[in-house]
């Protein structure tokens, strides 16, 4: 979340950022309410400090009078101390209430877009940051769900039987292809200096709140109500929270982590070709990369992470493009996001397979994730970044569609040492 002092000192920038995000009118009023509550909080804190100082002064006077044997005078001061104590208790409750209200309002305000974020409202307004080719396969090209049925790659109907719609079951060579992609992406991340993490697949409220899933995205998460835990929508949530409530040494930065997990998302129900097959599912495998960095290095790190994801897609031989998301299409927590999309040759459309984002201090402020640079330096908030490297469901779809031949699906060369076969048939 944004810091109150940042909002106060950069009010016009915050309002301009909300406008770029196409925020609803009530959010602009929320900013005003935050500043008013902060003023109230400051006044109450000052009044409480003054009362406590007066109580301490009276207590000192009482002690001195008691030593002098002046009990009656001391009792008069005691009655005043009781009144001050009662007044302090009322103010403490008011202060606690105002601080709670302030925090709740701060959770409602999204991150402020970086200056390079394009103005726009819908995905059609996103900027094509790096164009990609759109190869043609001919009229006989099959979509991936038909290829999956033909070559027994995955079974969506079996997933419906076992769980429900949107839960694919991978079988045989399809399961090996999925596992090959996981191992390939993890090996590439390890070679790039990322520490591999195997995190829990459920998180508590503090973790979900720390990375911004709560209170913004409750409807998209599966909630284990009995234990009040949430199935993770991405490994970003548990991995970034590893350093929640910690003060790091600047020498430890950057911290680079990667994790493979299944991911669970309660996507809004819709129908048609755009959500068929693996285009939109409720459970999918994904490898995530996360970096915790010095604020001065975060945008260089963002470019480094873009090149890492681009390198994976180039090695797989998949046609892709990169988009810089406009203000109206950005996620709640992001300051700048780039999306990677692969070309679905049979569907003749682009499919998102990765988002790489810089959150600046938005997540670290929620998590109280800080660093110290030297003994005499102030403690500062770190910057956090993450990206999909990569989301597998649509990568599988793209491999099936772009690599189809009359003999079967040609396996990308970099995967063959993992699959043990070069043709899926």
Q: What does the pLDDT average to over 32-43?
A: 96
Residues within the annotated binding site for ATP?
265-267, 281-284, 352-355
**Tokens standing for residue 275:** 């959500």
Domains of the chain by residue range: 4-106, 123-424
* Rounded distance between C-alpha atoms, residue 314 and residue 340, angstroms: 12
As a whole number of angstroms, the distance between CA 200 and CA 197 comes to 10
Average pLDDT, integer, range 194-203: 98
Q: Which has the minimum average pLDDT: 64-73, 216-225, 309-318, 355-364? A: 64-73
Task: Give the model's confidence band at 374: pLDDT under 50 very low, under 70 low, under 90 confident, else very high.
Answer: confident
Residue 81 predicted with pLDDT over 80 = no
CA distance 27 to 374: 39
Residue 74: what pLDDT?
Answer: 60
CATH code of the region 123-424? 3.30.930.10
pLDDT interval class at 270 (50, 70, 90):
very low
- What is the pLDDT at residue 269? 47
Residues that constitute the known binding site for L-serine: 234, 265, 288, 386
Instruction: Decide if pLDDT at 322 tops 70.
Output: yes
CATH class of 4-106: mainly alpha
Q: How far apart are CA 279 and CA 271, in angstroms?
A: 11
| Tokens of residue 416, six digits | 């063959």
- Report the alpha-carbon distance of residue 321 to residue 131 in Å, rounded: 5
d(CA 362, CA 378): 19
* Cα angle for residues 227, 245, 10 (degrees, 5° grid): 110
* Mean pLDDT, the chain, whole residue set: 93
Q: Binding site membership: which residues? A: 234, 265-267, 281-284, 288, 352-355, 386
> 402 in helix, strand or coil?
helix
Q: Which of 285, 286, 305 is nearest to 383 (CA)?
A: 305
Helix (H, G, I), strand (E, B) or coil at 321: strand
Residues constituting the chain: 425
* pLDDT tens-place string over residues 176-192: 999 999 999 999 999 99
């Amino acid at each position: 979340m944004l810091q109150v002092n940042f909002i106060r000192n950069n009010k016009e920038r915050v309002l301009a950022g909300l406008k770029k995000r196409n925020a609803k009118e009530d959010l602009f009023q929320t900013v005003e309410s935050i500043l008013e509550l902060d003023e109230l909080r400051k006044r109450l804190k000052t009044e409480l400090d003054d009362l406590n100082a007066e109580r301490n002064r009276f207590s000192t006077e009482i002690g001195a009078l008691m030593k002098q044997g002046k009990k009656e005078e001391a009792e008069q001061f005691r009655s005043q101390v009781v009144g001050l104590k009662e007044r302090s208790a009322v103010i403490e409750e008011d202060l606690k209430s105002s601080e709670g209200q302030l925090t709740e309002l701060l959770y409602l305000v999204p991150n402020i877009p970086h200056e390079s974020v394009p103005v726009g409202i819908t995905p059609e307004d996103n900027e094509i940051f790096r164009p990609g080719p759109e190869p043609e396969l001919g009229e006989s090209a099959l979509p991936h769900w038909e290829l999956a049925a033909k070559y027994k790659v995955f079974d969506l109907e079996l997933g419906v039987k076992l769980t429900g719609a949107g839960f694919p079951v991978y079988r045989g060579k399809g399961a090996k292809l999925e596992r090959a992609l996981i191992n390939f992406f993890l090996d590439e991340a390890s070679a790039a200096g990322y520490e591999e993490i195997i995190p829990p697949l459920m998180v508590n409220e503090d973790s979900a709140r720390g990375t911004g899933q709560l209170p913004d995205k409750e409807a998209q998460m599966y909630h284990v109500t009995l234990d009040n835990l949430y199935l993770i929508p991405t490994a970003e949530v548990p991995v970034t929270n590893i350093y929640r409530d910690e003060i790091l040494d600047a020498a430890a930065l950057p911290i680079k982590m990667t994790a493979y997990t299944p991911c669970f998302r309660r996507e809004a129900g819709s129908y048609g070709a755009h959500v068929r097959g693996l285009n939109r599912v409720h459970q999918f495998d994904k490898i995530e990369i996360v970096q915790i960095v010095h604020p001065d290095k975060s945008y260089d790190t963002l470019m480094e992470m873009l090149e890492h994801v681009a390198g994976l897609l180039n090695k797989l031989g998949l046609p892709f493009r990169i988009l810089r998301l406009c203000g109206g299409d950005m996620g709640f927590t992001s300051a700048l996001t780039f999306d990677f999309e692969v070309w679905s040759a049979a569907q003749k459309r682009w499919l998102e397979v990765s988002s790489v984002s810089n959150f600046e201090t938005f997540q670290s402020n929620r998590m109280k994730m800080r660093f110290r640079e030297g003994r005499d330096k102030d403690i500062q908030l770190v910057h956090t970044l993450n990206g999909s490297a990569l989301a597998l469901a649509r990568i599988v779809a793209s491999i099936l569609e772009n690599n189809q031949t009359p003999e079967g699906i040609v396996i990308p060369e970099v995967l063959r040492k993992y699959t043990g076969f070069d043709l899926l048939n």
